[in-house]
């Protein structure tokens, strides 16, 4: 009987492998870099989501998702990840207003902390637009560009649409380019759109929120000490309760829906057309040097925001077949990447999202983080190992 049970167990194990069985243990024990972080996964606040993508004979994708230590209450600061949902919803809002993404957009200021913007020297025509702000956000994670798109959306409009998409707990309540503090961040600038002949097409007055946007998951604190606004040291954890928030599941789902929008039920799709979808995917994939407007110098190296696979090196990326379509975040010791990784030559595609917290001294906002010594080596190697796993799986 015992031999029979052993045979059944071995048979099931072989069947699991034959069917593409997956284990995070195998990946995380595949190299010293991953093993050392995985051994202290709680300390590093590691979370990982991996989605296998398989297509039928008609090209329709099927998804199978695996998670490692994923928990929406395991807080991490989302940083620049918010640029993806804001860009998508801004594109939807333009469609509602029947405006093109390249339409000239002027931002006015209605109080002392707001910025007025009437030119963009990075654009081919010298004028700001939602499209140009998205290019800047996706290519090099430009914070000023994010601020102007956030203001165009307005807090109520943004959160109403997030709720419709199923992200009721997500909070996007502040800019990154300074000036506005506290509840002033919820007040958004007047915005106007103009034709090339400077004919006013649409004016949006200053936005005042009608609701209070508290964090639905309660208070969040990080670290043991932190530095405050005037660089004074505070011997208490930093309070992130009223800052932007999204879970790793949120950003993974947002990108997956953008890549595969056409395959979602109509009620769950983004309200964008194929041209707008491809525009956003193009700039999420491009390297800074591949762009002419905006143009970037060599300080924006190829892996500037490609943490998976390439993040631990500043060398040029030479593999033309392997593409990483992604959004990243880096702030307060947290580093996160959310990516759709696809290799046309090898005929593989998968999604990978991961976050790590690299702050050895547990002092938040002191500028001393282990991004290059711990976080980037981990994320780069994690991407490489999943890529190798996918090559073998196929």
Given a contact cutoff of 8 angstroms between Cβ atoms, the answer to whether 100 and 94 are in contact is yes
What local confidence, expressed as pLDDT, does residue 45 receive?
97
Distance CA 87, CA 147 (A): 11
Six-digit token string for 236: 């208490």
The H or E element spanning position 256 is helix 248-259
Mean pLDDT (whole number) for 331-336: 98
* Cα angle 169-245-303, degrees, rounded to a multiple of 5: 130
Give me the pLDDT at residue 35, please. 98
Q: At 72, is the pLDDT very low, low, confident or very high (cuts 50, 70, 90)? A: confident
**φ and ψ at residue 170, rounded to 5 degrees:** -70, 140
Among 146-150, 214-218, 281-285, 365-369, the least confident range: 214-218
Q: CA 244 to CA 236: how far, in whole Å?
A: 20
What does the block give as tokens for 192?
């106007």
pLDDT band at 230 (very low <50, low <70, confident <90, very high): confident
Q: What is the pLDDT of residues 264-313, one digit of tens each?
A: 999 999 999 999 999 999 999 999 999 999 999 999 999 999 999 999 99
- Residue 32, pLDDT score: 98
What are the two backbone dihedrals, phi and then psi, of residue 67, each rounded to the nearest 5 degrees? -130, 145
Sorted by sequence, the CB contacts under 8 Å of residue 84 that are 6+ apart come out as 251, 254, 255, 258, 284, 327, 338
pTM of the predicted model, to two decimals? 0.93
Q: Which residues pair with 107 in a beta bridge?
A: 117, 191
Entry field: residues in the chain: 394
How confident is the prediction for the chain on average, in pLDDT?
A: 93
**How does residue 4 score in pLDDT terms, banded at 50, 70 and 90?**
very low
The token pair at 340 is: 């759709």
| pLDDT(73) > 90 | no
Structure-model confidence comparison of residues 15 and 293, the more confident one: 293
**Backbone Cα Rg of the chain:** 22
Phi, psi at residue 182, to the nearest 5°? 55, -135
- Using CA atoms, how far apart are residues 156 and 209, in angstroms rounded to an integer? 6
Decide if pLDDT at 10 tops 60: no
Task: Quote the CA–CA distance of 66 and 51 in Å, as a whole number.
Answer: 6
Instruction: Give the range among 119-128, 215-224, 254-263 with minimum mean pLDDT.
Output: 215-224
Contact between residue 78 and residue 244 where contact means Cβ atoms under 8 Å apart: yes
Whether the per-residue pLDDT at 232 is higher than 80: the answer is yes
Confidence label for 7 from pLDDT (cuts 50, 70 and 90): very low
pLDDT digits (tens, 9 = 90+) for 311-323: 999 999 999 999 9
Of the listed ranges 62-66, 177-181, 237-241, 298-302, the least confidently predicted one is 177-181
* Count of helix runs (H) and strand runs (E) in the chain: 10, 13
Helix (H, G, I), strand (E, B) or coil at 388: helix
Choose among 130, 92, 102: nearest CA to 270: 92
The token duo for 368 is 């001393």
Tokens found for residue 356: 């790590």
């Amino acid at each position: 009987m015992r031999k029979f049970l052993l045979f059944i167990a071995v048979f099931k194990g072989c069947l699991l492998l034959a069917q593409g069985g997956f284990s995070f243990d195998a990946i995380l024990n595949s190299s010293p870099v991953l093993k050392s972080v995985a051994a202290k996964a709680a300390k590093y606040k590691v979370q990982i989501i991996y989605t296998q993508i398989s297509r039928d004979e008609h090209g329709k994708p099927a998804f199978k998702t695996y998670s490692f230590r994923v928990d929406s209450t395991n807080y991490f600061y989302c940083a620049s990840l918010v640029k993806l949902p804001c860009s998508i919803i801004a594109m939807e809002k333009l469609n509602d207003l029947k405006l093109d993404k390249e339409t000239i957009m002027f931002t006015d200021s209605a109080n002392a902390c707001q910025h007025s913007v009437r030119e963009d020297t990075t654009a081919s025509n010298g004028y700001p637009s939602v499209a140009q702000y998205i290019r800047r956000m996706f290519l090099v994670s430009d914070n000023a560009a994010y601020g102007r798109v956030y203001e165009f959306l307005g807090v109520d409009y943004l959160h109403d649409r997030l709720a419709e998409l199923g992200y009721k707990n997500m909070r996007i309540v502040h800019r990154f380019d300074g000036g506005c503090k506290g509840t002033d961040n919820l007040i958004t600038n007047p915005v106007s759109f103009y034709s090339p002949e400077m004919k006013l097409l649409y004016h949006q007055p200053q936005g005042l929120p009608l609701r209070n946007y508290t964090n639905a998951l309660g208070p969040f604190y990080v670290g043991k000490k932190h530095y405050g606004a005037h660089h004074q040291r505070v011997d208490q954890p930093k309070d992130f309760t009223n800052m932007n928030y999204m879970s790793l599941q949120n950003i993974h789902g947002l990108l997956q829906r953008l890549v595969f929008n056409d395959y979602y039920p109509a009620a769950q799709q983004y309200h964008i057309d194929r041209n707008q979808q491809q525009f956003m995917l193009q700039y999420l994939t491009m390297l800074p040097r591949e762009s002419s407007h905006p143009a970037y110098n060599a300080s924006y190296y190829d892996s500037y925001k490609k943490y998976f696979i390439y993040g631990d090196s500043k060398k040029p990326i030479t593999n033309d077949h392997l593409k990483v379509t992604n959004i990243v975040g880096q702030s307060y010791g947290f580093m996160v990447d959310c990516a759709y990784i696809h290799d046309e030559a090898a005929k593989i595609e998968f999604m990978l999202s991961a976050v790590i917290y690299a702050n050895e001294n547990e002092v938040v906002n002191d500028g001393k983080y282990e991004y290059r010594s711990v976080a980037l080596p981990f994320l780069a190697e994690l991407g490489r190992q999943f890529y190798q796993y996918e090559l073998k799986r196929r």
